[in-house]
Each structure stands twice: as C-alpha cells, then as structure tokens.
Amino acid sequence: MSRPLEAEQAVLGGLMLDPSAIVRVSDLLTAGDFQHKGHQLIFRAIKELFEAGSPYDAVTLGEWFESRGQSGAVQGGSYLIDLASGTPSAANIRAYAEIVAKVSETARVRSAGQRIALASTYAEGQALLADAAPRRSSALKSVKDGLGEMVESLQRRFDASGDVTGVPTGIASLDALTGGWQPGNLIIAAGRPGMGKSAFAVQAAIAAERALFVSLEMTAGELIERAVCNVGHIPNRWFRFPKEAPDHAMERIGEASKQVAGLRLSFDDSPSLNMDAIECVIRQAHMADPLRLIVVDHLGIIGREGKHDASELGAITARMKRLAKEIAPVLLLCQLNRGLESRTDKRPMLSDLRDSGRIEEDADMVIGMYRESYYAEHKDPDADYLELLIRKNRSGEQATAWALARLGEMRLESADEPVRHVAANEGGGGFAAYSGKGNQPRNGPRASSGYRHAAGGGV
C-alpha cells in the first residue's frame, strides 16, 4: 500500500479515535485533498457531523452512511472499523495531514499544467494556476512565537550598520526618521505633479540595491535615463537637447551608464496593467532574484474593470499590503487630486488621498511630498527644498524629513531643516539653514529672502 494512501487512512482513523483532533487538520485539508474517493466521502461526513455537534466514531459514521443509502461506499461500515482499529493514536495526525496536503498540491499543479497548455488567454492560465495554490496552514501563533519574532527583529536592528534597520530610502534625513523601509510595510508616497515623485522613487530603487520598478506611466528607457542622471549627477537637459550638451557630456553619460548597468534593478513598463498582472510580475521577479523593494508608479492608473470606486482602490492597496508582508516593502506612488491647490497651505494631508479612508487603513506609512518653490513666482534652484511629510507612521513618529531637490539631475540630497528668521536690517521674512538643534543659523543670518542649502547628508 502506498505511503500517501496510508497517510489518508491514518488521518481518518485518528479523527475517529480522537474527535478533538479535527481542529489540528481542518485548516490544512478539504475533502478534495484525499485521492481515494471513499476517503473523500468519509472526511466530508466527519466535517458535517462535527459542524452539527454530533460524534463521528466508526459506529456513528456507519449509521450516517447507512441512513443515506451509502453504506456500500464504506463496505457496510467494516472499512470504518478497520480504519479506527488500524490507527494506534492521533498523536501524529498533523504530520499525516501534511503528507495528504502535499500529495494533493502536486496533483493540482500537474492537473493545472495540463489545462494551462490548453488555455486560450493569459487570464485563464493565471486562474488555473491560482487554483493549484497551497492551502492555508495554521496562522495562530503563541506568545512564545511572538516573542521570538520580536527578538529576531530587535537583533536585526541591533546588527544594522548605522541607524538604518530596514532597506535604505536613499535620503539620509528620511532614514533618520524611519530607519529605512521596514519589512512588511506598504508605503504611500503622495503628491501633486511636479513634486519629484519619480526622482524619489528612482533614488529609492537605486538605494535598495535590488528592486523591481513597475511603471505604468514611464518607459524603462525613461527610468534608466533618470537613474543615469541621478548616479552621475548629470543634467537631464543633456538627454533632452543632446546637441547643446558640452563636449564631455557623452563621456560623463558613459561612465554613469556603466554604474547603472551594475545595479540589480528590474523594470516592467507594460501599460494598463491590472492588479492580477502586477502581482504575477512581482512574484516572478522575486523568484528569479529575491527583491528588497517593490516600487509601483502609480496607484491611480492601475487597471480596474469596475466603476473605479473606493472598494476597487481598497482591494488594490490590500493586495499591495499582502505582497509587502510576503515579499518586500512596497513603495506605492499616488498622485493627489487638484483640490489642495485651492488651499493657502498646499502641503498634502491624509484627506487629500482619493478615497483616503481605505488607502490610509492599509498603508503603514503615508508620505506627502511638497516643494514650496514650485509655487513661488521667482524660483531659486539652489533653494529648492522638498518636504517629506510623514502623515502616518504605524511604527513611529509623524515628522518631516528635508531634502534639496536637484530635479535637473533627478536626485535628492538629504538636508537639515531650514528655519524661518526675520532679517534685522530689512524686517522681512527669509530662510537660513539651521541644524534644527540650536538658535542660530550655522552660516549666519541672510539679508535677503530665500533658502540657504543645509550642509551635510548625502544621497
């Protein structure tokens, strides 16, 4: 007799000997997992009797089958007695159930493979493969399990170099507040167009060392162009107007391109991807080379088949959160609607997120991106500060990280907070680069309005 069949017999016999053992296998098995047809019937009967609060030993099971005219399926009840008497105890029932589940999984995968070969569409093939997914195992954990995870997390943070305990964000000031992107986290980065979301996302992907960038808005070539600018401190204008670039431009671009070629970045720039396709792309990329960060640009243009309502967005962010827990932190970009433009203070708030309740609920962190200079009549490229407003932080404080936006080179430089002061000789407002810890600007007060670049902090 084969080992899988013996495992099925041991599970059923164990249940008849110890009815309480059903709670140890019911999360792992369904009737369809049993390969023997008679065993499927017996397990289904046991489940029905259990749910009705009735006993299910060999005698009561025999009566159950007889009352339904199915006693022949269990050889008049003698087979049930043989199962119970042939099983010494239910002590190892979980191990036997795992064997049954594994055999069932193998059978489902092989069957799915045969049907996928005949499928006519990608969606049909994906649905068939999903049917072969492993059954959910027990998710209950004891206090001891939780303490073990806590100690493991604490040890990881203790062993981390510097203050970054997760995946580096690419901006030192943001790392100082968050410790980096933490395992299992869904991070929403939200802002109006022109705030620097793409530069932020590319820089984060580079810093992660191994990242997948799913872009529904830009091509892989455009993203690589931004990465080359970021790494080589190269003006993006050289790409847009190459005839105007200086003689050494191609040499600089070539050197930066060699650095970018060594990065472990993957891109998918397929347009109009829906969440099913995005999840498939992410899982395939992770199987090929484990990911440290997933970047998706952006939430608003992920394909949806319904009415584009809150429930659909909520379903997307819920699945993104699940991928973050199973694979790697997810940085999900979100474009805010133009409603905030009517406010005097245009800094993003949680309420600016479309259908914000559900998005906010799923996100572990929400970062609003704001550049005051974007709205200024006279722009100073040396004083173009980006505020990274942490509006929600499930595991830490709500605060603001600062960066100098060098968007002409598609990069962000970590910076100290510029603190407003009133110049004594003009009575007007202005900004100077403070450390944030003292009462005086490090470089002295400035007579004219504007920003002074805070020294320190790198990408």
Q: How many domains does the chain have?
A: 3
255 in any annotated domain: yes
pLDDT for 169: 95
pLDDT for 290: 92
- Do the Cβ atoms of 351 and 392 come closer than 8 Å? no
456 in any annotated domain: yes
Asked if pLDDT for residue 426 goes beyond 80, the answer is no
pLDDT for 2: 57
Q: Which of 107-111, 155-159, 307-311, 376-380 has the highest mean pLDDT?
A: 107-111
Q: Which of 76-90, 323-337, 397-411, 438-452 is least confident?
A: 438-452
Q: Which of 90-99, 324-333, 447-456 has the highest mean pLDDT?
A: 324-333
DSSP lists the bridge partners of residue 385 as 404
- C-alpha 238: how far from its chain's center? 35
447 band by pLDDT with thresholds 50, 70 and 90: very low
Q: How confident is the model over 70-94, as pLDDT tens digits?
A: 878 778 778 888 888 888 888 889 8
Q: Answer yes or no: do 111 and 196 share one domain.
A: no
356 band by pLDDT with thresholds 50, 70 and 90: low
Query: Which tokens go with 394?
Result: 């499930």
439 versus 271: the higher-pLDDT residue is 271
- Do the Cβ atoms of 229 and 411 come closer than 8 Å? yes
- CA–CA separation, 202 and 223 (whole Å): 7
Q: Which of 122-136, 193-207, 242-256, 271-285 is least confident?
A: 122-136
pLDDT for 432: 45
Q: Answer yes or no: do 194 and 297 share one domain.
A: yes
- Classify residue 60 by burial, with Cβ atoms within 10 Å: 0-12, 13-18, 19+: middle
Q: Answer yes or no: do 334 and 323 share one domain.
A: yes
From the list 457, 437, 450, 318, the residue with the least C-alpha distance to 388 is 457
Q: Answer yes or no: do 435 and 358 share one domain.
A: no
Domain housing 92: 3-131
Residue 311 amino acid letter: S
Asked if pLDDT for residue 416 goes beyond 70, the answer is yes
157 in any annotated domain: no
Peptide bond preceding 39 in cis form (omega within 30 of 0): no
Q: Which of 163-177, 296-310, 382-396 is least confident?
A: 296-310
pLDDT for 107: 87
- Tell me which of 381, 397, 415 is where a domain ends: 415
40 in any annotated domain: yes
450 versus 203: the higher-pLDDT residue is 203
Asked if pLDDT for residue 429 goes beyond 60, the answer is no
127 versus 81: the higher-pLDDT residue is 81
> What value does the mean pLDDT of the chain take?
81
Q: Which of 140-149, 387-396, 404-413 is least confident?
A: 140-149
CATH number for the domain harbouring residue 118: 1.10.860.10
Q: How confident is the model over 165-222, as pLDDT tens digits?
A: 889 999 999 999 999 999 999 999 999 999 999 999 999 999 999 999 999 989 999 9
Q: Answer yes or no: do 115 and 173 share one domain.
A: no
DSSP lists the bridge partners of residue 188 as 332, 366
Asked if pLDDT for residue 457 goes beyond 60, the answer is no
- CA–CA separation, 193 and 177 (whole Å): 25
- Do the Cβ atoms of 373 and 379 come closer than 8 Å? yes
pLDDT for 433: 42
- C-alpha 164: how far from its chain's center? 19
pLDDT for 437: 35
131 versus 138: the higher-pLDDT residue is 131
241 in any annotated domain: yes
Percent of residues, the chain, with pLDDT higher than 70: 82
pLDDT for 178: 92
435 in any annotated domain: yes
359 versus 214: the higher-pLDDT residue is 214
pLDDT for 423: 40
445 band by pLDDT with thresholds 50, 70 and 90: very low
140 in any annotated domain: no
DSSP lists the bridge partners of residue 297 as 215
**In three state form, how does the secondary structure of 218-286 look?**
CCHHHHHHHHHHHHHCCCCHHHHCHHHCCCCHHHHHHHHHHHHHCCEEEEECCCCCEHHHHHHHHHHHH
pLDDT for 367: 97
Phi, psi at residue 44, to the nearest 5°? Answer: -65, -40
Q: Answer yes or no: do 105 and 236 share one domain.
A: no
- CA–CA separation, 344 and 167 (whole Å): 35
Q: How confident is the model over 38-59, as pLDDT tens digits?
A: 899 999 889 888 878 888 888 8
Q: Answer yes or no: do 73 and 219 share one domain.
A: no
CATH number for the domain harbouring residue 267: 3.40.50.300
Segment 89-105 mean pLDDT: 89
Q: How long, in residues, is the chain?
A: 459
Q: Answer yes or no: do 103 and 186 share one domain.
A: no
448 band by pLDDT with thresholds 50, 70 and 90: very low
Asked if pLDDT for residue 425 goes beyond 80, the answer is no
Q: Answer yes or no: do 404 and 421 share one domain.
A: no
301 in any annotated domain: yes
- Which position among 66, 98, 105, 217 bears the catalytic label? 217
Asked if pLDDT for residue 391 goes beyond 90, the answer is yes
pLDDT for 132: 67
pLDDT for 158: 67
Q: Answer yes or no: do 97 and 202 share one domain.
A: no
Q: Answer yes or no: do 405 and 442 share one domain.
A: no
Asked if pLDDT for residue 136 goes beyond 60, the answer is no
Q: Answer yes or no: do 120 and 209 share one domain.
A: no
Q: Could you confirm whether 124 is annotated as catalytic? A: no
- Do the Cβ atoms of 419 and 454 come closer than 8 Å? no
Q: Which helix (H) or strand (E) holds 4?
A: helix 3-17
Q: Which helix (H) or strand (E) holds 430?
A: strand 429-433
- CA–CA separation, 371 and 346 (whole Å): 9
Asked if pLDDT for residue 115 goes beyond 90, the answer is no
pLDDT for 379: 74
- CA–CA separation, 67 and 392 (whole Å): 60
From the list 338, 270, 255, the residue with the least C-alpha distance to 302 is 270
